[in-house]
Amino acid sequence: MSNSRQRIRLFLVLIAFLALSQDGVRPHILATVSQLETSPLRSAPDLTEKAKPTSETLHLDSAPQEDGESKAAEQTLRNLFREAHFSEAILIAQNQLRSETLSVIYKEWLREQLPTLKLGLAWQFIRQGRCEDAQSYLEPAQKGNSSALALKGLGYCALKRRDSYAALDYLQHYVEKNPMDPESYILLAEAKESLGLMDEALQLTQKAQSLETLTDEERDELQHREQKITAKLDEVPAQGEISAGYFLLRFQIQENQNLVQGSLEILQNHVQNLVQNLGFEYPTNPIEVIFHRQDNFNRSTHGPEWSSGIYDGRMRIPVQPQQILDENLARVLRHELTHAMLSEQARHQFLPRWFQEGLAQFAECPQFCLSYRFAATSQRFLNPEAFEQSFQQLSDMEAQLAYRQSLYLILTLNRQYQGLSGLKQIIQQLPQLNVMSSDQILSQVGSDYRSLYTLASEGWTQQKSF
């Protein structure tokens, strides 16, 4: 089996789609992305023994020849490992170590396998977006036989929490151990970009393209990223940077200096609003906000031409030279900041699209957008499955409708289930949820997705305004 097939990819694809505001302010079209772009491929190690062991594969060592009881104990462990039941395998292993009937030789072998079992569990947590849970297993594994995978996991999680210096340290050590992993160079490039080292980020992306192990998909992604970094480099010579509060803001010094103070004030106020009124946690690390030149925005992000903002782990906002900080731009800032904080609140796990986009629109107004007024005509309410999926596959008109109706779902939720206190209860519980399904989210207020959908669909059909 080839090395490329042994890598298990966890894709977080750049998704851009349309939204239309509905509360009396001039409608503006937003493209938002609510997932981190710290890695294009999201490869995790193969956590079973189905593939031939490589540096990207976790496997259990061969056990010594032993008696029947030890062989049975080993087979139980291997079966759990093969099915990726790592938590259960660790408990079984710990119980076996306390056994008085299993041989000393088998127990010695078992102790040597525990770090592998724990690393498997750590990567399972990473796949689920649970980096905080993975951390306690990754850190002790740095000095073990699978230390490379531990370093990669630690670097990945550091990028997730926007700790670029820590990510840089972990990933540089990882590359020394495994210089043939193309994703490691991309992860390093992400860390370099966050530190403003764009030239080095470009060099890493170019170096990765020379690796012989690349798949066509990986090569295409690397070329795509090289183009984006090259476009960003065009803005660097005239770019200023200011760090204040929860934000690191980059802007064009000559063209957008006038936006800095007012934008930071809007962002800081919105953080307080989300924390105090909706139960969000404060950002743990500075959120990057980048004002891109309007004429360079699509080259830098590869977003659609109609986008007014993108969150891909960084808030990216296109602005014109000498642009005025009006309410439309303020709404874009609040919208993208809501995505950024919601992503962190949910530990960067995928959230149902209606919840992400509905809440981001709901939070665009200084005191939340609580009203909705129907136009003279209205389109049908989309089927329930459409709100769970990416809006990327929809036509422009369908996507605009999906955005409006996502907001309507949130407004229905706000009206029917305890108002802001209900939304606050949901958001406060997000860090504790392992599955971010619509039903799990709504169970925090004693409801489910079908009930909410039915209420919103009926209200939309009857054109009930808020």
Note the pLDDT tens digit of each residue in 261-289.
Answer: 999 999 999 999 999 999 999 998 899 99
Across 286-315, average pLDDT: 81
- pLDDT score for 293: 86
Across 231-253, average pLDDT: 88
Q: Which of 5-9, 356-360, 389-393 has the highest mean pLDDT?
A: 356-360
Binning the chain into helix, strand and coil, the percentages to the nearest 5 are 55, 5, 35
- pLDDT score for 218: 83
Task: Tell me the C-alpha distance between 267 and 305, whole Å.
Answer: 25
Q: Is the pLDDT of residue 371 over 60?
A: yes
Distance of CA 408 to the CA centre of its chain: 25
- pLDDT score for 228: 85
**Confidence grade of residue 303 (pLDDT, cut at 50, 70, 90):** low
Task: Tell me the C-alpha distance between 157 and 163, whole Å.
Answer: 9
> Three-state DSSP class for 34?
coil
Q: Is the pLDDT of residue 138 over 70?
A: yes
- pLDDT score for 65: 64
To the nearest whole percent, how much of the chain has pLDDT over 70? 83
For 19-51, b where at least 16 C-beta lie within 10 A, e where not — what string?
A: bebbbeeeebbbbbbbbbbbbbbbbbbbbeeeb
CB atoms under 10 Å from CB of 450, counted, come to 12
Q: Is the pLDDT of residue 17 over 60?
A: no
CA separation, residue 129 to residues 37, 133, 135, 383 (Å): 14, 9, 12, 28
pLDDT digits (tens, 9 = 90+) for 175-199: 988 888 888 888 898 888 888 888 9
Domains of the chain: 40-233 (1.25.40.10), 240-461 (1.10.390.10)
**Confidence grade of residue 406 (pLDDT, cut at 50, 70, 90):** very high
Task: Tell me the C-alpha distance between 460 and 463, whole Å.
Answer: 5
CA separation, residue 101 to residues 72, 93, 96, 240, 272 (Å): 12, 14, 9, 68, 60
Q: Is the pLDDT of residue 30 over 70?
A: no
> Three-state DSSP class for 173?
helix
**Confidence grade of residue 33 (pLDDT, cut at 50, 70, 90):** very low
User: Does residue 18 or residue 109 have the better pLDDT?
Assistant: 109
Across 150-177, average pLDDT: 89
| Of 3-12, 168-177, 289-298, minimum mean pLDDT range | 3-12
Q: Is the pLDDT of residue 50 over 80?
A: no
Across 371-397, average pLDDT: 79
Across 445-455, average pLDDT: 94
Q: Is the pLDDT of residue 339 over 80?
A: yes
User: Does residue 257 or residue 397 have the better pLDDT?
Assistant: 257
- pLDDT score for 283: 93
Q: Which of 131-135, 197-201, 356-360, 373-377 has the highest mean pLDDT?
A: 356-360
- pLDDT score for 20: 23
